[in-house]
Structure 1
Amino acid sequence: MTDRNDAAAAAASATAWPIAGIFITGGSGYVGRNLIRHFVAKGIPVTALARSPKSERTVAELGATPFSGDLLGTDLVRGMEGCDVLIHAAADTDHGPGTESQQRVNEEGTRAVFKAARAAGIQRAILLSTESVLADGRPLVNVDERHPLPRRPAGSYSRSKAAAERCALSYNDVGMEVVAVRPRFVWGRDDTTALPNLLGAVKSGQFAWISGGDYLTTTTHIANLCHGVELAIARGKGGEVYFLGDDEPVRFRDFATALMATQGVKVPEKSVPRALLRLIAGLGDWLHKVSGGKFTAPLTLQAYATSAVSITLNIGKARRELGYAPVMSREAGLAEMAAASRNTQR
């Protein structure tokens, strides 16, 4: 109860922080849409970068002002006028073998955004990073922010997001404080990422538990992520990184089963050995490299590293320094999704 009271007090103080306006990249994506809803509901003006007419309509319908353009080749300084906070949520999250496009978006795009933010006079900047910057294919158990980045990242996504994080934090100075937050397994209402992928695998007959799914994972409900970002704006220390997550880790099999049950889908019992998948992923990445990209394996080490081993995060630093505590329990989040699914089916 104390944690939830502390979270309520922290949220109140965060809301009182005098934000003139927020500029968000990736506003039409899953995280971006919910960030727009979160801050618009608090009466804070939001401008969101939009790459297409469809994206413009999405952010406008959510109450934000769309700014047409992309991360590269657009005068972002003009879009940030009147804003004193940046939230950089745009990223190429593909877990495949990696492309030049992913490198441009995640690395060059981040550099362009933070360079523009400094020129525009942004005072506080939040980077949406990921625990995947630590992924190398081995379990990560109760890791905290002191855990070093691996010398050999699992794949292109981990490598490019780590580079993006280093780049963003290099812009931290007295004129613009930069904070990075690392959520893990973002889920909840309006999910257009993890849940659709799981449902698609089940419906196509390709889903199988990895060694029975008997390993722990940290999860982060979208409401908890938005709350954590708000606290990072208000209380985060410039140059620091914070893990965000739900209260406690959960067994992957239990959570995935409950998540898909909210959509009325039952998960099959099929299981494959972890060692076999690790072999397939490693061999596939090697063949992709030596074939010059002509061979693409059904599983990459990047995908394996983020979904097949235990990954649990210690969110103690966010609790201590931000006053963070989850505002949405796992049970309440699942109930919310089940109710929304029933309403959709009527």
Structure 2
Amino acid sequence: RSPEAADRLRALGAVAVVGDILDPGIGQAMAGCDALVHAAADTDHGHGGAAQMRTNAEGTRTILRAARAAGVRRVVHLSTESVLSDGRPLRHVDETTPYPARPAGSYSRSKIAAEKIALSMNDETFAVVVVRPRFVWGRDDTTALPTLVEAARSGQLAWIDGGGYRTSTTHIDNLCHGVDLALRAGRGGEVYFLSDGEPMAFRTFVSALLETQGMAAPDKVVPRGVVRAVAAVGDLIGLVTRGAKPAPLTLQGFAASAVEVTLDIGKARRELGYAPVVSLAEGLAELAASARQR
């Protein structure tokens, strides 16, 4: 992803390979490997469009084909709970919940396509396992936490209908533990939700994250209906300008942060022996310590 990221990998004893997930030639770097963890994706929650579909769907197809040709036998494909998002609450959903008829946006559509491609390639000699985390967080986060901090600092963060709706979360260590278990014990062709366990109120969790950075949570509250209307306008802007003009919010962003999203991880517990290895308190303490060191 960057020279700095490559240096960190080398320092940990890994071999860093620079490549493009749309280049079939990347399979040369997989020779002699036993397993693949496919985590690369365009996670933009804006207009997305054809470029996002190409990266997430065709990138998945290219990578898995290359892995199979290189002799890789097991794959863990990182998906997302967003494959079920259409803007309505997702309450205690499990792996039997069907894809929505009208996905929330480009990110959901592209990850649905990627997940279908990955599962279609599973066979007796090439086991493909899918894991779906929700709201990944933890030390060295370069996506969710910086965005929340900037929104709070600029005064743009507000609680939708008070923020009392619940959310599942997944600490990065718990996600890595789940991926490890999926590599070892996951059944090919199966999907597993992963999370920190018990969900909590969205406002409570985000406030705790901000506190680790020495920031107080805002008191501003906005009605959900107003936010939903802004998202509709944002989708229209993206459609008319084909993504050339950034929108303040889209239905994809609304679905991720404005409604309840809670997961049932019973299948991962039963079949993988999954249990969170890092608690909420431990993860928050680590974040706070890291912030103090910086």
Displacement of 1:290 in angstroms is: 3.7
Match of 2:224 in 1: 274
Helix, strand or coil: the match of 2:17?
strand
Displacement of 1:191 in angstroms is: 1.1
Match of 2:95 in 1: 145
TM-score w.r.t. length of structure 2:
0.96
CA distance in structure 1 between the partners assigned to 2:240 and 2:287 by the alignment? 44
Displacement of 1:287 in angstroms is: 3.7
Match of 1:309 among 230, 248, 259: 259
Match of 2:110 among 154, 157, 160: 160
TM-score w.r.t. length of structure 1:
0.82
Displacement of 1:292 in angstroms is: 4.5
Match of 1:213 in 2: 163
Displacement of 1:294 in angstroms is: 5.2
1:101 equivalent in alignment to 2:51:
yes
1:131 equivalent in alignment to 2:66:
no
Match of 2:38 among 85, 88, 100: 88
CA distance in structure 2 between the partners assigned to 1:293 and 1:127 by the alignment? 28
Q: How does 1:13-92 map to 2 (within 5 A)?
A: 52-92=2-42
Match of 1:318 in 2: 268
Match of 2:249 in 1: 299
Match of 1:230 in 2: 180
Alignment coverage as a number of residue pairs: 294
Cα shift readout 1:132-183 (whole Å, capped 9, x = no counterpart)? 0000000000000000000110000000011000001111001110000000
Helix, strand or coil: the match of 1:60?
helix
Q: Which moved more, 1:130-139 or 1:185-194?
A: 185-194
Cα shift readout 1:221-274 (whole Å, capped 9, x = no counterpart)? 111101000100111010000000012000011111111101111111011111
Displacement of 1:325 in angstroms is: 0.6
Equivalent residues of 2:24, 2:63 under 8 A apart: no
Helix, strand or coil: the match of 1:184?
coil
Which amino acid letter does the alignment assign opposite residue 77 of structure 1?
G
Match of 1:247 among 197, 205, 209: 197
Match of 1:289 among 239, 260, 283: 239
Which amino acid letter does the alignment assign opposite residue 152 of structure 2?
V
CA distance in structure 2 between the partners assigned to 1:62 and 1:107 by the alignment? 30
Task: Flag structure 1 segments of 5+ consecutive residues without an equivalent.
Answer: 1-50
Which amino acid letter does the alignment assign opposite residue 246 of structure 1?
D
Equivalent residues of 2:24, 2:66 under 8 A apart: no
Cα shift readout 1:174-214 (whole Å, capped 9, x = no counterpart)? 11100000000001111111110100101111111111111
Which amino acid letter does the alignment assign opposite residue 70 of structure 1?
D
Match of 1:329 among 262, 274, 279: 279
CA distance in structure 2 between the partners assigned to 1:317 and 1:154 by the alignment? 25
- Runs of 4 or more, structure 1, over 2 Å off, are 51-59, 290-297
Equivalent residues of 2:32, 2:71 under 8 A apart: no
Which amino acid letter does the alignment assign opposite residue 122 of structure 2?
N
CA distance in structure 2 between the partners assigned to 1:294 and 1:230 by the alignment? 40
Equivalent residues of 2:136, 2:171 under 8 A apart: yes
Displacement of 1:74 in angstroms is: 4.9
CA distance in structure 1 between the partners assigned to 2:237 and 2:208 by the alignment? 36
Equivalent residues of 2:235, 2:250 under 8 A apart: yes
Match of 1:260 in 2: 210
Helix, strand or coil: the match of 1:146?
coil
The CA RMSD over aligned residues, in Å, is 1.3
Task: Flag structure 2 segments of 5+ consecutive residues without an equivalent.
Answer: none
Fraction of identical pairs, as percent = 61
1:182 equivalent in alignment to 2:132:
yes
